Structure 1
Amino acid sequence: MKKYTITSKDSINEITAERDLSINRYVVIREKNSQTEWKNGIGNGTPTYEILEWIDDCTYRLTYDSSKGEMDEMTKWVNENNGIIISKTKIEGKCLYYNATMTSNDGQKISQDGIICVE
């Protein structure tokens, strides 16, 4: 399950989205300022192409690359709202912990804590 915190003016809400059980893992390939994500391994389905704009050594803005394929409503919405700020919070062993935050054009702040591990 994915847990999101949404802060809007005078309220804070937590939303838990159900996990897509058809996805067992993500494969992420990063090259400098771009990233490609595959659901369930390289060659399965259509990859997602992302642009990384580095803010500092531990923080970057993620947007989706519309020049490499068609975007769905969610990826269009992320780009229209200035992307997602990803901040690395700690590294333990082979795992990186991060916070992802997005502030929508109408002032809502959406955040999620997550973890990425290398196999």
Structure 2
Amino acid sequence: MKKILSFGILLLSINFYSQELTCADFKVGNFVVKMDSEKNPYKLIRYENYQIEIVNKSTNENIKYTNNLEWIDECTYRLKYDEIKMTLNAFQKSINENGVLVKMKKIKGKYLYFDSFLSYEGKKIKLSGKMYKE
């Protein structure tokens, strides 16, 4: 009986101390992002108010994008390309007019699922994906 009681207390204590992830856990750090519409994942290095996306375009080439983040609430932010740290193409300039609104939807296990919303050439586009901390 003592063993069963001790085991029960151990299980309860593990439940009380197990960490549940929140949106705050995805504000700073190194992440891997997988967009539903893309084949390959990419790396993300995120600081409080900006991030660097590292996209592998070929076996020998990585492309880096620097984005500024404006946090709207704990789980929502607006992303814009950093025109000081990089030269923007026409698409990126167009995106920067309104930015990309990112809403963190849910956290399941180690994954954060999100939706991104942007306007381009008069069309509203929704992109979904997931990310996890490295």
TM-score of the superposed pair, with normalisation by structure 1: 0.70
Flag structure 2 segments of 5+ consecutive residues without an equivalent. 1-35
Question: Is the partner of 2:92 in helix, strand or coil?
Answer: helix
- Normalized per residue, which structure has more helix? 2
How far residue 110 of structure 1 moved from its aligned partner, in angstroms, is 1.5
The percent of aligned pairs where both chains have the same amino acid is 38
Q: Show the counterpart of 2:47.
A: 31
Q: Show the counterpart of 2:129.
A: 114
How far residue 73 of structure 1 moved from its aligned partner, in angstroms, is 2.3
Q: Distance in 1 between matches of 2:113 and 2:84?
A: 30
Question: Is the partner of 1:66 in helix, strand or coil?
Answer: coil
Change (3 A) 1:68 1:56: same
Amino acid at match of 2:50: S
What is the RMSD of the two structures over their aligned residues, measured on CA atoms?
A: 2.4
Amino acid at match of 1:76: K
Give matches, 1:95-106, under 5 Å: 95-103=111-119, 106=122
**Rg (Cα) greater in structure:** 2
Give the paired residue count: 97
How far residue 113 of structure 1 moved from its aligned partner, in angstroms, is 1.8
How far residue 105 of structure 1 moved from its aligned partner, in angstroms, is 8.0
Q: Distance in 1 between matches of 2:77 and 2:113?
A: 14
How far residue 45 of structure 1 moved from its aligned partner, in angstroms, is 2.9
TM-score of the superposed pair, with normalisation by structure 2: 0.63
Amino acid at match of 1:62: L
Q: Distance in 2 between matches of 1:38 and 1:113?
A: 18
Q: What do residues 10-54 of structure 1 show as CA deviations (whole Å, max 9, x unaligned)? A: xxxxxxxxx4x6xx43110011000000013xxx53310000000
Give matches, 1:69-108, under 5 Å: 69-80=86-97, 82-103=98-119, 106=122, 108=123
- Normalized per residue, which structure has more strand? 1
